């Protein structure tokens, strides 16, 4: 299967959330370009990640810090560890330009995060801006829009 086929874009989305659910953090981070950002807006239809507040707007270094922290021996909020589960609707290719290799894919999701006896359900839409790097697609921006992005949450410790 060619990496420029739309199916490769869809496959990447399934692969990405599977890495999260299986807590294969190094494999997960490898899917992100060096200049990538992971963005969880605070308001509906938000356009500015810098001069408006967000739940997360993190570059690859900050994502790396999170992953390192999850592995740490003194990460007490992970005693016991959190687990998560994504249920992703069939992703739609919103735009796809094989040359120079840019694409946008969108998927609705339900996300469950659990820790000890607590289980939280979140719902939203993930939008991926992708760039072809050599033979592989890499995530340049993952935008996670929660349906209740402005609600008061307890700890959200993993990744949607």
Partner 1 sequence: MPNATSSIDTSPWLRGCEVHRDAFIDPGVFALEMQTVFSHTWVFVGHGSRIPQPGDYVTTTVGDQPVVMVRQWDGGISVLHNRCAHKGVKVAGREQGNTGKFFRCPYHAWTYQLDGAVLAIPLKSGYAQSGLEGTEAALGMAAVGAVQVYRDFVFCRLARQGESFGDFFGDALSTIDNMVDRSPEGKLQVAGGVLRYMHHCNWKMLVDNQTDTCHPMVAHESSAGTAVKVWKAAPEGTPKPMAVELFAPFVSPYEFFEGMGIRSWPNGHGHTGTADSIHAAYSPVPGYWDQMKAAYGEQRAQQILGEVRHNTIYFPNIMVKGPIQTLRIFKPLAADRTLVESWTFRLVGAPDLLLERTLMYNRLINAPTSVVGHDDLEVYERSQQALHSRGRDWVNVGRLYDPAETQTPTQVVNGTSELQMRNQYRAWAKYLAMGPEVRA
Among the listed residues 7, 24, 44, 52, the single contact to partner 1 using CB under 8 A: 52
CA–CA dist 26, 104 (Å, integer): 23
Residue 31: CB minimum distance to partner 1, A? 19
Among the listed residues 65, 87, 121, 147, the single contact to partner 1 using CB under 8 A: 65
CA 21 to chain centre: 11
* Angle, CA 51 vertex, CA 111 and CA 31 arms, to 5°: 40
Q: In the numeric block, which tokens belong to residue 41?
A: 């807006």
Write down the residue that tokens 């874009």 correspond to.
9
Kindly identify the residues of this chain, within the stretch 17-46, that bind partner 1 according to CB under 8 A.
40, 42-43
CA–CA dist 36, 129 (Å, integer): 9
Counting residues that bind partner 1 (by CB under 8 A) gives: 32
Asked if residue 148 binds partner 1 (CB under 8 A), the reply is no
Among the listed residues 45, 47, 74, 80, the single contact to partner 1 using CB under 8 A: 74
Residue 55: CB minimum distance to partner 1, A? 5
- Label the pairing between strands 136-146 and 32-41: parallel
Binding site for partner 1 (CB under 8 A): 40, 42-43, 50-57, 59, 61-62, 64-66, 68-69, 72, 74-77, 150-157
């Amino acid at each position: 299967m060619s990496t420029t086929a739309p199916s490769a874009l869809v496959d990447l989305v399934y692969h990405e959330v599977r890495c999260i659910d299986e807590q294969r953090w190094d494999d997960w981070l490898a899917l992100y370009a060096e200049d990538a950002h992971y963005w969880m807006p605070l308001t509906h239809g938000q356009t500015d990640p810098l001069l408006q507040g967000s739940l997360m707007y993190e570059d690859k270094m900050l994502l790396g810090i999170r992953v390192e922290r999850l592995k740490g021996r003194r990460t007490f909020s992970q005693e016991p560890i959190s687990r998560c589960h994504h249920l992703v609707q069939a992703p739609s290719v919103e735009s796809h330009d094989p040359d120079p290799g840019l694409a946008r894919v969108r998927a609705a999701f339900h996300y469950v995060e659990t820790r000890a006896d607590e289980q939280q359900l979140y719902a939203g839409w993930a939008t991926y801006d992708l760039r072809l790097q050599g033979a592989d697609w890499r995530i340049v921006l993952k935008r996670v829009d929660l349906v209740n992005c402005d609600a008061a949450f307890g700890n959200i410790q993993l990744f949607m």
